[in-house]
A and B are shown apart, each in its own frame.
Chain A
Amino acid sequence: MPTLAFSSQLINLCAALLLLLSFAMLAQRRVLTLVDLFAMQGGTLFVSIIVVAWSTGQPHLYYSAALTLILKVILLPLILHHLIRRLGAQWESETLLNTPITMLAGLLLVIFAFTLAQPISQLANTVTRGTLGIALAVVMLAFLMMITRRKAVTQVIGFLAMENGLFFAATSATYGMPMVVELGVALDVLVSMVILGIFFFHIREQFDSLDLHNMESLKED
């Protein structure tokens, strides 16, 4: 068992990586690279859960790490790659809204997340106390990504990245939720991915593209 100081350093490193990857996703234009970044985020999450499990001796965290590995590092990116290829969208990139402004908004969100999490982090007695703010920041950056993007696939990746942030929050604040709940959440994520996959085809069939700009008929007038 490593010393607590060392493992908490490792977890902080993972947290920093997660945050960095979130920013990278925010700025990434190519869809396939985005999927790879998402898989890397899942991988970082997996490593951080393993470190927490190892340093605190919480056996059930190994299961949740395995779940993360299977679902977020292997299965979901595979499904996404497959879907993108089936849709013939692998070379697509999208024009971003003003990147510097998006980044600046992201920075403000991170500051906001840290301020919000500050009083709670102080109450935590886990080795990972400092990282709750980062988890919240990852959630909010994914949210920002969903707002600023107009492609169906990128919105879904944003949605999944948000789930990553939530899982990180669960491990960093509380050493993981009860197993039933984690299984249920994982099942929901997987099913939603399948349904969204079906949706991509419906959207393309009806609108001839996965661009959500075409979806504006239901605006409130």
Chain B
Amino acid sequence: MELLLLLGLPLLGSLLLALIGRREWAPEANVLMSAGTFAAGVWLTAHVIAHGPMLVWHEQFFIDPFNVFLVILTSFIGLTTSLFSRPYLRTEEHHGRLNRRQLRLYHSMFQLFMFTMLLALTTNNMGILWVAMEAATLTTVLLVSLYRTPASIEAAWKYFILCGVGLAQALFGTILLYFAAEKVLGNAGSTALLWTHLNEVKGQLEPTVLSLAFVFMLVGYGTKVGLAPLHNWLPDAHAEGPTPVSAVLSGLLLNVALYAVVRCKVLVEGSVRSDLAGNLMMGFGLLSLLLAAFLLWRQKDIKRLFAYSSIEHMGLATFAFGMGGPVANFAALLHMTVHSLTKSSLFFTVGHATQKAGTQVMDKIRGLITSNPTVGWGLMLGTLAILGMPPFGVFTSEFLILITAMREHPWATPILLLGLGVAFGAIFSRVQAMVFGETSLPRLPHPPALVPVFAQLALVLMLGLYIPPHLADWYREAARLIG
């Protein structure tokens, strides 16, 4: 029932908004649908906490502590993004960059995107997981090109082709997985792609097939996580699409793709009994972290800057999942949470700042703190949070990842520190210049939505200072499941 609401509301919302999306109150309807989805997410979470993992609808859907926390995070950021997009898109319309038809497309596709994300998270079928990931690409590709400028069309084309090819690899990986599973489970009743069944028999699956399948799936879903060297689409799509889309791409899509990788890793590790999967993830993670950190220095566009920072953080989380073990998994889950919250709130403030300045070029954005103190402070605090300054939550997760790396893979520690340090310098120097300094920028026609920004930053701060025991148990349970 909870699940039906959770999946049904965004699907219904996308249909509804496709029909009535031109009305004046479409943004409010969007907020309402997202709020409903979030409420359903909370309800589902309460159910899972009270009754334990659930397996419903002919075992096609499976909710355990690992995905339920991502469900609630996803629906929460969906809600805050819809709150943010309300004034943001009105201002864009006011500036004449978007018309009503494009707004209708945006609202409808946004809801459909939420549906695909939640479907990918809750499904138990590895094939449906793939279908949902591909559908997520399809829904966002039209959002990236929403402005119809040459640059945005180019970005969307690149996004489509790269992710399409990447996901084709993941489908091949899924076919190989099915091939291995079919031998053990038989293909009667098509249970051989259900994750729960696979997880039970993972010890009997053919190791050679599974390791090859994992390579394909890591490359495939890794393209969507934005792992180097397959990250090329990510900065373009983030920079050229509307800001709410950048926020959900960074805050949700990357997480869900990483979730898919981790689900595969659990199966493969159980079968192969070597560190192959973990080592591959560690390698890709470190490479992404390092490459993104150095590329950060060359950015001139503020949204590209934070897009590269997303690659860096996803690299770090992938590295932590690659190390495995309770502490590293705990840290990686925490890192996914705080990164989503911080990065989407950063994109919200960046959205308002760029609308104000009329440009995304960092050299032209100056003195936010005098012209609009709340936007300026939001950007500064968000930046400090994402850079891992104590007492924000990102510090906690990065610290945990670092100490685990020191204990188990000492060789990786200097690389991690180098990457984090370089990224710190690059981002901090740019943002400081944008926040402080002289300015004469005009005010925005619609008051910016800064409640979600500060609410999310407050959550990140809270997670840095104190993780509620309930949540900690929950992370521990999820970390144990991942192994």
Contacts and interface: CB of A to CB of B under 8 A. Distances in A.
Interface of A: 116, 119-120, 123-125, 136, 139, 143, 146, 152, 155, 159, 162-163, 166, 169-170, 173-175, 177-181, 184-185, 187-188, 191-192, 195-196, 198-199, 202-203, 205-207, 212, 215, 217-218, 220-221
A111 to B, nearest CB: 17
A221 B187 CA distance: 51
Contact of B179 (A166, A174, A185): A174
Contacts of B154: 215, 217-218
B178 A202 contact: no
Query: What class of interface size applies to chain B in its complex with A?
Result: 35 or more
Contacts of B148: 202, 205-206
Interface string B119-141: 00000010110110011001001
Pick from A180, A198, A218, A221 the residue with the most CB of B within 10 Å. Answer: A218
A139 B175 CA distance: 13
Given A124-B179, A181-B125, 16 more contacts: A125-B183, A136-B172, A146-B165, A155-B161, A159-B165, A173-B175, A177-B193, A178-B193, A184-B127, A191-B138, A192-B134, A202-B148, A206-B149, A217-B150, A218-B158, A218-B236
Identify the interface centre among B150, B178, B179, B182: most chain A CB within 10 Å of its CB.
B179
Interface stretch (B41-49, B67-75, B205-213, B345-353): B205-213
Contact of B298 (A152, A174, A192, A221): A221
Given A139-B168, A166-B168, A188 B131 contact: yes
A146 B165 CA distance: 9
A163 B130 CA distance: 13
B295 A220 contact: yes
A116 B169 CA distance: 14
Contacts of B240: 218
20 contacts: A120-B209, A123-B209, A175-B187, A177-B127, A177-B174, A177-B175, A178-B127, A181-B125, A181-B127, A181-B131, A184-B130, A184-B131, A188-B135, A192-B160, A192-B164, A199-B153, A206-B148, A207-B150, A217-B150, A217-B151
B455 to A, nearest CB: 34
B142 to A, nearest CB: 6
B454 interface: no
B337 interface: no
B194 to A, nearest CB: 9
9 nearest A-B residue pairs (beta carbon):
A181-B127, A178-B190, A184-B131, A215-B154, A206-B150, A188-B134, A173-B179, A174-B179, A218-B236
A90 to B, nearest CB: 22
A213 B120 CA distance: 35
Contacts of B153: 199, 202-203, 206-207
B176 interface: yes
Contact of B190 (A139, A180, A207): A180
